[in-house]
A = this chain, B = another copy of it.
Amino acid sequence: MKLAFIGLGSMGSAMADSLLSAGHELVVYNRTAERAEHLRRRGARVARTANEASRDVEAVVTMLADDAAVESVTFGEDGIVAGLAPGAVHVSSSTISVALSERLAAAHESARQGYVAAPVFGRPDAAATKQLWVVAAGPREDIDRCLPLLEALGRGVSLLGDSARAANVAKLAGNFVIASMLEALGEAMALSRKAGVAPEAFVGVFSSLFSRSPIFERYAGLIAKEAFAPAGFKASLGRKDMGLVLAAGQALAVPMPLASLLHDNLLAAVARGDGDLDWSVIGRLAAERAGLPPKS
């Protein structure tokens, strides 16, 4: 397919790479152009604006940091809506608010363009090895047209129906479930340590029990070792995502006390200057509340 890719951070670069590897023709755009260099060398064309990137393609994929970044490349005269041809599709892979996803759906529908929400689960290393999992939703015809590109991004795709925002909710819900696990592990290990059980022994028991859940084992290990740098996913981003979960809950009238607890703890991590550490650092907060010294 003839595709555009906007947003070349560590996730976006690897995803764009996957699309090239799958044989798609690619034009890319990033606010700071240097990030596009290695893709240019692999054959991608580099555009100077999001609008320019969006012209003459069948679909444009966006992978950006937050709502503000997605808004800035979508709306306005330099944006995607102004550039995209009728019938072409905007595939939004960023973790954004449900409210913005609804606005994007409406804007593209007005412009007779397609819109698919397709956030992904996985970190940059998973993106690089095509191990992402894609959760996609949107009008059936838009999904159908984009399926080759969605399949090129990762190891599988879940489809969640006609309403694009469903995929955003699922992505936020997924991150929420993972964060819940972090808090549970943190409190459980603080208890275990104070009872004289080494964190490593604790991890051993749990790997036996919840066996073969790689996410679980990975995070249990990080919290046991207090290995929060470099971050796989920053606490500040986790805070942002839990904020989006709560915003969606508020808009839909869904009280979520566990999400509130996680947001408060991630916000505490940010407030004390740990926002750039891995979000599993909330496990360390649980230990501190218990008066445990940091592991050296």
Contact = CB atoms under 8 A, between A and B. Distances in A.
Contacts of A191: 169, 172-173, 245, 248-249, 252, 254, 256
A183 interface: yes
A15 interface: no
Which label, helix, strand, loop or mixed, suits the secondary structure of the A interface?
Answer: helix
- The oligomer's copy count stands at 4
B184 A188 contact: no
A72 to B, nearest CB: 19
Interface residues of A, number: 76
Interface string A204-243: 1110111111011000000000000000000000000001
A1 interface: no
B209 A160 contact: no
A172 B249 CA distance: 21
Given A135-B205, A166-B196, A195-B252, 15 more contacts: A133-B209, A158-B204, A166-B195, A173-B188, A180-B258, A187-B254, A187-B256, A191-B256, A194-B254, A209-B215, A253-B290, A255-B267, A255-B289, A271-B291, A273-B291
A228 to B, nearest CB: 17
B289 A268 contact: yes
